[in-house]
Structure 1
Amino acid sequence: MIAVELHQLLRSRRTWVTILMIDSLPTLVAVLLGVTEVGPRPGTGPAFLSAVLTDGTLFPLAAIAIVLPLFMPIAVSIVAGESIAGEAQQGTLRYLLVRPVARTRLLVAKLVSVMVFVLLTLAVVAATAYVTGTLLLGDAPVAATTTVSGTTLTQQELILRTLLALAYAMLSMFGVASIALCLSTFVDAPLGAALGTLAVLVASTLLLTLDAADSIAPYLLTRYWLAFVDLFRDPILWRDVVRGALLQVVYVAVFLGIAWANFATKDVKD
């Protein structure tokens, strides 16, 4: 079942068009920075963007910071929201369940497909950003790459921390996917699941800007999304990274549990 879902994902033109659209923004930013050589002031704009004019190897991290708050969540919400509700809307869900396929197995297959989409997107964004960053932006040697704290990183340290940042970003999107997949088991329209997930994200982002919501801020879905920046401090500040990872694990466990409980007993009529 998982192989079938992955095959459909990789063969879908929409998958690659979506990835291309997400990848186009950081690529455009790299071109503009390379042409104008004018970047944001330190401390402003997406993380690492002010440093890439002198060190293009950091642009993959800036690219992740560009797409993570908005574009990736939208794409994940749509893809995950369509996973079950899309089958119901097309009338194929009933036929899938008629086969000797356990509902839990189908749910797992859909989730794996969504996370492979996230992995593909992040890999393409990071790879493209590395190429454009090294070609168009700062050409400092990799061994001289600096941390946010101003110390230098070796090539091995840079690769390891970048992989950790990618894993953290993927875990953050795992939380989004679990919410969208959960809503997808309750509704028969993919748009409803996607919009519901986006409503949660917008509410979380808005509440983080309100002082009155300080007491619940540590528990909001988007609170620690950009904590991967702390992986590039010296020494690494693990506090928010660990908190963010644990928070996403809780969201994933809760919403996937609800999705499984609902889907396992759902009466599929169409």
Structure 2
Amino acid sequence: MILVELRKLFLRTRTWVTIGLLCLLPAIVAVFLATTRIAPAPGQGAAFLSAVLESGSLYPAAALALVLPIFLPVAVAVVAGDTVAGESGAGTLRYLLVRPVGRTKLLAAKLFSVVVFVVATVAAVAGTSYVVGVSLFGAGDPVAVVNAIPQISAPGGGGGSSSGGGSSGGGSATANDPADAPTPAVNAPGAAPGAATGGNTVQSDPTEARERAADSVASLSGDALSPADLALRLLGAMLYITISMLGVGAIALFLSTVTTSSLGATLGALAALITSQVLVTLDAAASVTPYLPTRYWLAWIDFFRDPIFLRDIRAGLLVQLAYVVVLMLAAWANFTTKDVAQ
């Protein structure tokens, strides 16, 4: 049954068009950046865009920040909303259930297909963006990358700053603007400890810094990251985004068992997400903000800090897993008692 659902998913032209469009958006942005050599000022625009001109290795992270707030959730909602409602609306669901396959197994297979779609889409966006980024911008000058990324004054990207995606919900992922808070003294790569005074960072000799940080890029905190470390952090961010999108999939899949209209299930899931984003930015809703599905969406940026800030990452994982478990149990209870003749 799982193979049947995967075959149906990936034989649809719509699936590949969706993945292609999600990969195309970062590619278009990269072409404009490479052509004009004009990047957003540090603290403005999507996360990492202010640094990708100096290091194409960071472009997968910038690409994920570009597609996450709107395009990726819409794609997941469309696919998950069509899983059951599409079959029911077309009248083929009853024929599926004629086979000697229980409804629980069928629902599990459809959930698995949504998981595979999310994993494939996130991997495709990151993979194509890495190729495009390195091809257009090169591996990068680690010292220039350090200077291009603003310093971070508070941990917990999803809580204390706009970069972690908590305070702004599903809005654009941006790094902290140094003008908004006192800038801490952060030593540049190669600088001696305690070399920063008066809130200003004392830069070491550029040649020495390049030698010490060769083949590296910088974390949001300004410390050099080796290619292997960067790859591990990017994988962690991809896994976190995948789990976050499973929360979206769970909402749409539950609604897909309630209605026979795949469009209705998709729009219902998107309405829930938009409502969550609005409430996240509303001070009057502070009591419920930590439990909203979009509250910690952008906390994956904390993987690129040194040290990694795990507070909002853990909170985000718990929130998404709670949505997945509760909504899938509700979908199972509804689907197993659903009159498929209607």
Q: Distance in 2 between matches of 1:68 and 1:149?
A: 23
Task: Give the secondary-structure state (helix, strand or coil) at the position aligned to 2:336.
Answer: helix
Aligned to 1:159: 231
Letter in 2 for 1:33: L
1:194 to 266, 270, 288: 266
Structure 2, unmatched stretches of 5+, are: 142-213
Stretch deviating more after TM superposition (9-18 or 174-183): 9-18
Distance 1:269 1:148 in 2: 55
Pairwise CA distance, 1:137: 2.1
Who is 1:94 aligned against?
94
Structure 1 Cα separation of the partners of residues 139 and 36 of structure 2: 16
Does residue 128 (structure 1) correspond to residue 146 (structure 2)? The answer is no
**Contact 1:30-1:136 at 8 Å conserved across structures:** yes
1:3 maps to which residue?
Answer: 3
**Partner of residue 205, structure 1:** 277
Tell me which residue corresponds to 2:185: none
Report sequence identity in percent. 55
Q: Return 5+ residue gaps in structure 1 as ranges.
A: none
- Residue matched to 1:169: 241
- Larger Rg over CA atoms: 2
Q: Indicate the structure with greater helix content.
A: 1
1:84-115 Cα offsets, whole Å, 9 max, x none, are: 00000110001111111110110011111111
Runs (4 or more) in structure 1 with deviation over 4 Å come to none
Residues 1:184 and 2:256 aligned together: yes
- Amino acid of the residue matched to residue 259 of structure 2? V
Q: Name the structure 1 match of 2:337.
A: 265
State the match for 1:12 in structure 2: 12
Map Cα deviations across residues 65-98 of structure 1 (whole Å, 9 max, x no partner): 1111100110111110000000001100011111
The yes-or-no answer on 1:226 pairing with 2:298 is: yes
State the secondary structure of the residue aligned to 2:42.
Answer: coil
Q: Distance in 2 between matches of 1:219 and 1:43?
A: 27
What letter matches 1:90 in structure 2?
Answer: A
2:308 matched residue in structure 1: 236
**CA apart distance, 1:138:** 4.9
Q: C-alpha separation between the residues in 2 aligned to 1:194 and 1:132?
A: 31
- Which residue is equivalent to 1:33? 33
Q: CA deviation at 1:210?
A: 1.3
Listed one character per residue, the Cα deviations across residues 194-248 of structure 1 (whole Å, up to 9, x for unaligned) are 0000000100111112111122111111111110100110100000001001110
Whether the 8 Å contact between 1:5 and 1:113 is mirrored in structure 2 is yes
Secondary structure class of the residue paired with 1:206: helix
8 Å contact kept, 1:52–1:138: no
